[in-house]
Amino acid sequence: MSDHRLPRTAIPHRYDLRLAPDLEEFTFDGKVKIALEVPNDTDRLVLNAIELTIQEATIENEGGKRRTAAVTYDQAHQRVSLRFDRPIGPGNYILRIRFTGTLNDQLHGFYRSTFTDTEGNERVVALTQFESTDARRCFPCWDEPEYKAVFGAKLHVEPGLAAFSNGPEIRRKHLDNGKIKITFGDTMKMSTYLVAFVVGPLEATEPQDVNGVPVRIAHPIGKGHLTGWAEEMGAWALDWLTDYYGIPYPGDKVDHVAVPDFAFGAMENLGCITYRETALLLDPETTGQYEKRRIADVIAHELAHMWFGDLVTMKWWNGIWLNEAFASFMEMKAVDAKHPEWDRWLSFAADPGASRAGALVVDALAASRPVEFEVGSPEEADEMFDALTYGKGSAVVRMIEQFIGEEQFRTGVGQYLRDHAYANTETSDLWAALDGASEWPVGEIMDTWILQEGYPLLEVRRSDRGIKLSQRRNLLIPDEEDQTLWQVPVQLKYAVDGEVHEAKHLLTGADAELDLGDVDWVVANAGGHGFYRVAYAPDLLEALVGVVSDLSTLERFTLVDDAAALAVSGDNDLASWFRLAEGYRGESTQQIWQMLIGHLAQVDDIVPEDLRPAFARRVSELLGDVADRLGTEPVEGEDELDTLLRGQVLTALGVIADDEDIVTFAARNLERVLEDFTSFDPDVTSAIIQVSGAHASVATTERLLAAHETAPTAQLAQQLLAAAARSRIPTGAETVVDACIDGPVRKQDSAWVMARTLRSQHARRAAWTRIRSRFTEMLAGLPPMTQRHLADGMAAVSEDDLGRDIEAFLAETPMPSATKAVAQSLERMRANVRFAEREKPGLSDLLG
C-alpha cells in the first residue's frame, strides 16, 4: 500500500502551466514550469503522470545550466521518472516539461462534456476534476496533498469560448494561430487536487461584491435565467462563513461554474467551484422545495471547503473524511442560519444517502469501515467518498459540537484554522484544538468514533437508582461476539414527578447506572444529535409514547426511526413498529413523514402480492389525515415544507398504496405536465411523474426517457429518469437499462438510474438479468467514481434466490472501483432477505 506514495526526490514550490485544449479533436497539449527544491543528491525525479505523453523534460539550476532527462513511465503506480546522466545536488531548480494528453469521457482528469444549445447544436466543454488523484491526468506533478504550491495558469482557447481557472483573469493576448491566450492570477499555496480549468461555450453573470470578493455564476450559454437562486445563496453563504470562521476568504474571487457532466455533485476548487447543473441552476417555476434546498446545501458545502480543506488541508488521503465531514456539517449550519424554517438538522436526520440516515444504515454493517483508515492507492482514496465520510463524519462532528457547546466548538475550530493556515494537518490537530477549547477529552471521545467502524445501540431500562444504560454494537445482522465499545456522549432529558431535567453523561464502559431518581420518562438521545440507536425497555417506551407530543421534532423522529431499524435487525418486530407509527397519524412535520414513508417503502418490498391490497389499506389509513390536510393543490402562504410534503404524500399513496384516485390523477395529467412543466406546483408535478412511472406501460416508460432528453432543466431530466426506472414491467426495466448503457442517459447518471431499476420489486429480476448479460460492456462505460451507485441498488433485493445469484456473479466478476460499496450492499441485501424471511409469516395477521 505505502508504495503509492512518492519518494521525496523534490519539493515543488510553484507551477506555471500552459494548456491548449482542442475541443474538436478531444486532445490537449501543455507545458509546465515547476520551481522546486531538491533536498538530497539524486539522479532522478519521480512525480505523478498517467495518460500523458511527455515530449521533453529539462532541468535548470540556479546558474542557468540545463540538462535533459530521460523519461520512464510506471503505469501501475501512475508515475513518471525523469533520469539524468549524473546526479544533481541539493538546491533550487526549474523543471520544464512539454506533454500531450486526451480529453477523456470518464469525468476525471481533463475531460470533455457535451450539451445541446438553444439552437439544437451539440457543444463541447473541456473541464477538470482532480480530486482525489487525477491532476496527474492533466499535467505531470507531485499529486499528493502535502505537496502544496502556488499555481499560475495560461489557457490557449478558440475565440468565442469562455475560460475559467482558480485565479482571476488578468490579461488576454491574440496569438498568431488565431487562438487567445488568457492569463490567470496566481493562487495561494494549495494542493494539486484543487487546481481547475474550464473552457467552452459558457457565460457568466455580472460579479457581485461580497466583502471585496467578486462572485459570479457561470453556466452553459442560454441558461442565465436559471442563476438567480445560486447568486443569492452564493453571496449570502460566503459572507456568513467568513464571519463564522473569523478569517477572510483565502482567494481572490469565486466563480461557481455549472457544467453538463460531472461525477460528483460539485468540487471545491479554490475560486473556481464546479457543479453539476442540478446542484447550481434552477427554474423556480418548475423546481420543487427539495431541489431548491439541495442547491443551497451544495453551495454552502463547497464554500465551507475554501477554509476547511483548501486553506488547511489534510496531509494524506486518510484525512479526507474530515474535509468532507466538516464541510457537510458547515453546510447544515449555514443553511439553517439562512432558512431556520426548513429545520435543516431534522432534514439531515431524514434524508437518505450521504446523511445521518444513510450513514446509520451503512455503519450498521459488519462490512462497514472506520471513518478514517489507511489509504494506499488512488482507488482506496476514491472509495472514501461515501455515506460514512459525509454522513457519519458530519453527524459525529455535530454530536460533539452539541455535547461540548457551540461556542467552545467554534473557538476551537477558529484556532485550528489560524494555527495551520496554508499548511497540512492530521485529524489529531483538530481534536487538540477542541480539547483546548472545552472541558471534555474530545480527542479520546472522537477516536472511538472515527478510528473504529460501527456505532452503539444504547439499551435503557429502570434501575433502583434511576436508569441503567448499556451499550453494544448495533448491527443489521447481530453478532453477539462483537465487544466493541465507544465513549458515548449521552445527552439526557427526563422527568421526575412531572418536572423536566437535562443531564450529560459520557458512557465509557459497557454500562452505567445513573442516579436520576424515579423517572416518569427519559430520552437517552436528547436533542436527537447522538449518532447511535436507542432501545427502551417496554415500560419506558410506553411512557415516552404518552408524552410524544412534548418531545422535540428530532426526538420524536429518532424514537420511531430507531424502532424501525431495530425491526429490520430483529431486535424489535414489525408489529411493534406499526403500533408506534400509528401514534404519529396526527404528526405534521415533513421530515418525520418522509422517514415514515421510507420505512413503509421498505416493508412494501417484502409484501407478497396476495397481501398487497391489505397493506395498501394500512398505508392509506396511516397517511389519511395528512393527505386530507394537504390535498392536491398548494394553499397561498403555506409553509414550504408542507409544499414538499404534499408531493411526497401523493407519491407514497400512488406508488406504495396504489391509491386508485391518485394513480388516475397522475395518468390523466402526465401528458399535460410533459407539454408544460409549469402546469402544476413543482412538487405536485414530481408526484405526477413518479406515480406515472410506477404504473407505466412500456410506451410510457419510453416516453419518459425521451422527455428527459429535452427537459428544460437538469432537475426535471433527473425526475423523468427516476420515474422511468420505477417501471414494474420487465420489458420496461430492460429498456431503461439499455438506455443507460447505450444512451441517451448521460454517463454521470447511468449508475444511479440502473440502481433504481433494481429497487422495483416487480421488475428487478429482469433488470438484473439485463445488467448481468451486459455487465462487462456496462462497466467499461461507467465512470469509476459513479460505480458505487449501481452497487447501492443491489442492497434493496430481498429475494433469497436473486440475492444468491447476484452475490455469486459478483464474486466472479468484481467491480474494482466499488469494492467496499459492493461488500456493503451485499450485506444489506442479506439483511433484507433475513428481514423478509422473519416477518413475512406474520404479515397476514399484522395486516388482517
Report, as residue numbers or ranges, the catalytic residues. Answer: 302
The DSSP line for 251-278 is SS-EEEEEES--SSSEE--TTEEEEEGG
Task: Name residue 554's amino acid.
Answer: L
538 upstream amide cis, omega within 30 of 0: no
Compute the distance between CA of residue 842 and CA of residue 848 in angstroms, rounded to an integer.
Answer: 10
CA distance 585 to 771: 40
| Omega prior to 744 cis, within 30 of 0 | yes
Q: What stretch of H or E contains 32?
A: strand 27-38
Query: How many Å apart are CA 743 and CA 93, to the nearest integer?
Result: 49
CA–CA separation, 138 and 104 (whole Å): 10
Q: At a CB cut-off of 8 Å and minimum separation 6, what does 535 contact?
A: 457, 458, 459, 460, 562, 566, 571, 572
CA distances from 735 to 144, 265, 412, 567, 697 (A): 43, 26, 54, 35, 12
Distance of CA 664 to the CA centre of its chain: 35
Closest CA to 469 of 529, 533, 551: 533
Secondary structure (3-state) at 104: strand
CA-closest candidate to residue 671, choices 683, 689, 684: 689
Question: Is the separation of the CB atoms in 560 and 525 below 8 Å?
Answer: no
> In which residue are the cell numbers 411512557 written?
543
**Which cell numbers hold the place of 320?**
479526507
- Given 3-state DSSP classes, what are the helix, strand and coil percentages for the chain, each rounded to the nearest 5? 45, 25, 30
Q: How far apart are the C-alpha atoms of 692 and 686, rounded to whole Å?
A: 10
Distances 272 to 252, 302, 393, 421 between C-alpha atoms, Å: 10, 10, 25, 20
What is the greatest pairwise CA distance in the chain? 90
Region label for 181, one of left (φ > 0), alpha (ψ between -120 and 50) or beta (otherwise): beta
Residues paired with 56 in a beta bridge: 98
> How many residues are recorded in the chain?
848
Q: Please provide residue 301's backbone torsions phi and psi, each rounded to the nearest 5 degrees.
A: -60, -50
DSSP state of 7: P
**Residue 599 is placed in which grid cell?**
420505512
**DSSP H or E segment with residue 567:** helix 553-569
CA 371 centroid distance within chain: 15
* Cα torsion 76, 80, 86, 90: sign: negative
CA distance linking residue 52 with residue 49, whole number of Å: 6
Burial class (CB in 10 A: 0-12, 13-18, 19+), 212: exposed
CA distances from 61 to 32, 40, 68, 149, 779 (A): 16, 14, 12, 19, 47
- Record the cell numbers describing residue 158, joined without a space: 478558440
Torsion region of 113: left, alpha or beta (phi above 0 gives left; psi -120 to 50 gives alpha): beta
Q: Please report how the helices 682-694 and 289-305 are oriented relative to each other, as an axis angle in degrees rounded to 10.
A: 110
Would you state the cell numbers that stand for residue 530, as one nine-digit string?
447522538
What is the DSSP pairing of strand 272-276 with strand 533-536?
A: unpaired
Contact 493, 548 (CB under 8 A): no
Residue labelled with grid coordinates 486532445: 27
Cell matching residue 104: 477523456
